[in-house]
Structure formats: structure tokens, C-alpha cells
Structure 1
Amino acid sequence: MSENAPDPRRRLSTAEIDAAGLTDWRLLAGRLQARFAPADYAAGLDLVARIGAAAEDADHHPETTLTYGHVVLTLSSHDVGGVTSRDVRMARRISALAAELGAGADVAGLTRAEFGLDTDRGDEHARYYAALLGAEVTAGGEVTDPALQAPTLWWQGSAGEGSASETPLPAPEVEQRWHLDVWVAPEEAPARLRAVLDAGGRLVSDAAAPSFWVVEDVEGNRSCICTSQDRA
């Protein structure tokens, strides 16, 4: 490791990750994510096999999902709870393998969805939903499924703790406690917002943009379109 290389066990900042120039990857909810489009299912299997071999050599274990026409990968260093230089190196290696097989990256299609619950009893809910979903409670109190069968769940205080926006929002038209956080690439957020509005949604607030936009459906159920921008 060169003298100026980042400590492989130090969590990188958003700015450092952006500066790494990972064209195929974006930071979504604290993780690097990419989606590649192989020519067919067999090519996808080949790509996954090559990534698996490279990951074993690097002692790294990316989350990998193979479907017809897509290979989705997520990278993070669980020992530090974020992205490190190890993940950046692995991302570059995976991009090179995808390029060798002609599997192009689809940044516009990147999405990571999480559910947030407004509650002051997060610890109790975490235990309950972990049991219900057969998942685990992280050190930060979130519920996650290592097998990727269920989305991540997290908790927000009823007074709004955890929100990046200090601007009060108008009261929703319906009683709601669960909401979706939908993470997208920063440059894709305007298009995703426009698609929501064109589909009949309404913009509730852009006070925290480009960190997140609050939108709601035709009955007032709210969600957030989130990016990695303006975050630590």
C-alpha cells in the first residue's frame, strides 16, 4: 500500500468516494451499488462466477443478485459500517470483469428501497420485526436480512429525529407511520422525481434537496427520494 493510500479500515467520506471516479457505481444508503446488463442469463452466470473468484482472492464478499438481464452488486465493509478503500478496489475489479464480458452498467436504473417507521419505541420494534422477518438487528438498531429476502427497516422518532431537514412539513392528509426511502444516483434524482410527478404524485417538500425530496401519492402517503449528496 502506498504511503498516501487511504487506510483500508477507515470509512471513506462521500467526497472521497465521489473522487474515486467509479463510473459504474453510486453510493446508495451508505453502500456502493452497481447494476450490469449481460447479454443473456448464461453471460450473467459467467460474470457472477468471475466476480466470485475475484472476491475470494480479495477476501471480499459483495452482495450479488442475478436475474434475467441484470446482475446487481452491493459493496460495503461491515467491520466499519460503510465504504472503505477495499470496496473501491473491488468495485474497480468488478467493473473490469463486466467490461470484458460486454456487460454495460445501468446507473439510471439503480435503486435501493428501505422502510422507515415513525416511532419512539425503535428497540422494541427492531426485536419484533427481526423475529417476524427472520432477519437481524444491527449495532445501529436497523433490521436487515443478510440473505436479502426482506428490505432494511429503520426507525424515526415521532418528533422527526433522524430527518436531514429542519423545515417543518405540512401535515399529511392521511395518518401514516411507515414510509419508503428510495435511494437513487444523484444525477438521476430529478428524473425520478419527474416520473413520480408525471404519475400523479405531488412534491411535498424540496427543502432538504439534494439530500432528499418528500413526495406523496394521490391519497397523501409519503415517501422520500434520497441521494448521497450533502451527507457526511
Structure 2
Amino acid sequence: MTESITPAAFHRAPGVEAWRVTGSGPHAVFTAASLADAARLVAPITAAAERFDVLPDIDVRPEAVVVRIPNRGDDGIPAAATGFAAEVSQAAAGLGLAADPSRAQTVGIYVAQHSRADVRPFFLAALGYEELGETDAVDPLRTGPQLAFNPIDGDNPGRGRTHFDVFVPADHAQARVDAALAAGGRLVDDAHAPAWWSLASPDNHGVDIASWTDTFD
């Protein structure tokens, strides 16, 4: 098994200031002026990936390059991710691509299984997803949201049973919560803040704003 580290240990490494750890692993966003501008970072990312034996996901858009070191199975963050992240950050700076940590996020869907029904097989078939561990499901190419399944007894009167998990950087979580509340949401539970806040939309759909993945040690 590859040696793994915690999110807090990742952040203690030098040169990774542009990175945040969201629900899918270490994550950085480097802004660009055009698609061609963004594409210039692909070759340095590829070289760093080979040097550190890391398998990143790269999303090249006209506005930005999104780089993720995805969690593959239950192994967590590979220790080599710190060197890879530092080298990518240095390459981006050399190309004039500024980091924007506030735009790093991942979204998951938490599917409540009423009366403890096993609904994962249905979602795997309907979405073309694959099993992840004993409870989750993932898009094989990691482009769609991860699903987590939670057996429940009865209904939760506070909000709908299925909700979104939005994983954001720890230093931007409170601002995201404040923005959601200002946009008409309501606070359901902040007992676990700043690890996560449970919110509800005006029509009672649930959203958890979570930052614990960025700080866990």
C-alpha cells in the first residue's frame, strides 16, 4: 500500500499554499485567460505526475485549470502528493496562472435509504456508476458527484431525506454559509461547525457545507 497522509499533514508541506483538500482529495484551481493559456499547464502537470508517481485528474477550461489528486479507494492522500502539488504550483506561477483556492470544491449527494432499503444497486445501474467501498458510489471517470448511502428509520421532519454535501476550503466555508443564508436558506444545525453546517433551502432541500476534509489530522 502506498504511504498516505492526512489533510493537515498535506497542508504542513512547503509549497502547497494554493491547494485545498475537498471531498475528493487535494485540489487546486489556476485561473487562465483562454483555453490555450490553460493548456500550457498540462505538460508540466504530466511531467510532475510521472516524477512523483501520482495520478491526477486535469480539467482544462478557458477560465481555469482544475487539478485534483483523487482519492482512489480507501488509501487516502498519497504522501507523494505534496511534492507533486508544490511542483505544479511552481509551474503555474511560472506560466502566469494565478491560483484561486476559493474556487476549489466538490459536491456529493447523500442518499438516505428510507426504511433501510438497499437502493445502491439501482443508482449504480441508472447512473453507470461503480461501487466505492461498502456504502458509496462513484462515476468511473470522476466527473459526476460521488454518492453516499445512509440507512434511516422514519422521516426527518427538518428537511428532505436526501441532501447535497458541498465540500469547500476551510478558509472559505463561513463565507459560503453566509451567502447561502443571505440567499434565502435557513440554518438547520451548526452543532458540528466549523466541520460542517446543515442548511435547508426555502423549499426544504438539505445542503451540508463541509470543511472538515480540509483540516482533518
Question: What displacement does 1:77 show?
Answer: 5.5
Question: What displacement does 1:24 show?
Answer: 0.6
Aligned to 2:4, what secondary structure does the other structure show? Answer: coil
- Structure 1 segments of 4 or more deviating over 3 A? 120-124, 229-232
Relative to structure 2, which stretch is displaced further, 114-123 or 15-24? 114-123
Aligned to 1:104, what secondary structure does the other structure show? Answer: coil
TM-score by length of 1: 0.83
Give the CA RMSD over aligned residues: 2.4
Q: What CA deviation, in whole Å up to 9, does each residue of 1:138-158 have, x standing for no partner?
A: 124311113234210001231
Q: Which has the higher strand share?
A: 2
Q: What CA deviation, in whole Å up to 9, does each residue of 1:148-195 have, x standing for no partner?
A: 3421000123159xxxxxxxxx832x5x22100000000101110111
The runs of 5 or more residues in structure 1 that have no matched partner are: 1-7, 161-169
AA matched with 1:52: T
Question: What displacement does 1:79 show?
Answer: 6.2
Question: What displacement does 1:105 show?
Answer: 0.7
- Within the candidate set 171, 191, 197, 1:187 is matched to 171
Specify whether residues 87 and 121 from structure 1 end up closer, same or farther in structure 2 by C-alpha distance, changes over 3 A only: farther
The runs of 5 or more residues in structure 2 that have no matched partner are: none
Question: What displacement does 1:31 show?
Answer: 0.6
Q: Hey, what's the Cα distance between the residues in 2 that align with 1:140 and 1:64?
A: 27
Task: Report percent identity of matched pairs.
Answer: 28
Indicate conservation of the 8 Å contact 1:30/1:82, yes or no: no
Q: Give the corresponding residue for 2:113.
A: 119
Q: Hey, what's the Cα distance between the residues in 1 that align with 2:117 and 2:31?
A: 40
Say if 2:7 is the partner of 1:10.
Answer: no
Indicate conservation of the 8 Å contact 2:25/2:70, yes or no: yes
Indicate conservation of the 8 Å contact 1:77/1:87, yes or no: no
Relative to structure 2, which stretch is displaced further, 137-146 or 64-73? 137-146
Aligned to 2:5, what secondary structure does the other structure show? Answer: coil
Question: What displacement does 1:66 show?
Answer: 1.2
Say if 2:62 is the partner of 1:68.
Answer: yes
Matches within 5 A, 1:140-159: 140-158=134-152
Q: Give the corresponding residue for 2:89.
A: 95
Aligned to 1:200, what secondary structure does the other structure show? Answer: coil
Specify whether residues 121 and 85 from structure 1 end up closer, same or farther in structure 2 by C-alpha distance, changes over 3 A only: farther
Q: Hey, what's the Cα distance between the residues in 1 that align with 2:116 and 2:10?
A: 31
Aligned to 1:39, what secondary structure does the other structure show? Answer: coil
Question: What displacement does 1:97 show?
Answer: 1.2
The count of residues paired between Structure 1 and Structure 2 equals: 214
